[in-house]
């Protein structure tokens, strides 16, 4: 697989949004309300990603894209300070998505490890990721040696869903087998 990772730029906002919408529609089919998934809009998501690049704390965030020479952006990972915590040493993997046809080739693990390294490089000592309890993709975080440490409820499209928080100490233990 000819895939390279690189830091994202503002010019990637639309491609990141398209990956995010496509990944949500496949990963959350049968989990999140069908009408909500159908309503996802790449243009609205692109505007959100464009705002990311205007954030005053951009130097404390990481946004990586996975690129294929023929296809372009096929995945991404976004990370930064933990949103629900005031500890500057606590990091969070906000999002990690790949197009379905690019999953199970080690690209997600590369994005995961590079995001963890980026958080560590800015002084983070821990990393958290929230995952829908009903998402079969939770197995990925188990393979990456994550520990279930929290649970919360989140509302998506006017419906509540349970989320599980997985945590890691940084630097990561060896996850190369994942």
Task: Establish whether the linkage from the previous residue to 171 is cis, with ω within 30° of 0.
Answer: yes
The answer to whether position 115 is within a domain reads yes
Question: What's the domain count of the chain?
Answer: 1
Q: Examine residue 176 and state whether it is found in any structural domain, yes or no.
A: no
With respect to residue 88, please indicate whether it lies within any of the assigned structural domains. yes
Rounded CA separation 167/146 (Å): 5
pLDDT tens digits for range 15-40 = 999 999 999 999 999 999 999 999 99
Question: Which one, of 56, 52, 23, lies nearest residue 40 by Cα?
Answer: 23
Residue 125 structural domain? 3-169
In a domain, 178, yes or no: no
In-domain check, residue 99: yes
pTM: 0.94
Domain contains 177: no
Q: The domain spanning residue 30 has which CATH number?
A: 3.40.630.30
Structural domain contains residue 84: yes
pLDDT digits (tens, 9 = 90+) for 145-174: 999 999 999 999 999 999 999 999 999 987
Flag whether 174 is in a domain: no
């Amino acid at each position: 697989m000819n895939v390279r990772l690189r830091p994202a730029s503002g010019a990637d906002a639309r491609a990141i949004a398209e990956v995010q919408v496509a990944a949500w529609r496949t990963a959350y089919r049968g989990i999140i309300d069908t009408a909500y998934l159908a309503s996802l809009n790449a243009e609205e998501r692109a505007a959100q990603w464009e705002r990311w690049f205007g954030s005053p704390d951009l130097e404390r965030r990481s946004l990586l894209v996975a690129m294929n020479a023929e296809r372009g952006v096929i995945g991404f990972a976004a990370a930064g300070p933990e949103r629900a915590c005031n500890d500057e040493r606590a990091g969070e993997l906000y999002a990690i998505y790949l197009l379905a046809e690019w999953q199970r080739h080690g690209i997600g693990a590369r994005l995961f490890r590079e995001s963890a390294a980026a958080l560590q490089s800015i002084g983070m000592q821990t990393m958290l990721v929230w995952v829908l309890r009903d998402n079969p993709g939770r197995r990925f975080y188990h393979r990456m040696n994550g520990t279930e440490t929290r649970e919360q409820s989140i509302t998506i499209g006017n419906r509540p869903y349970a989320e599980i928080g997985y945590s890691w100490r940084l630097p990561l233990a060896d996850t190369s087998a994942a």
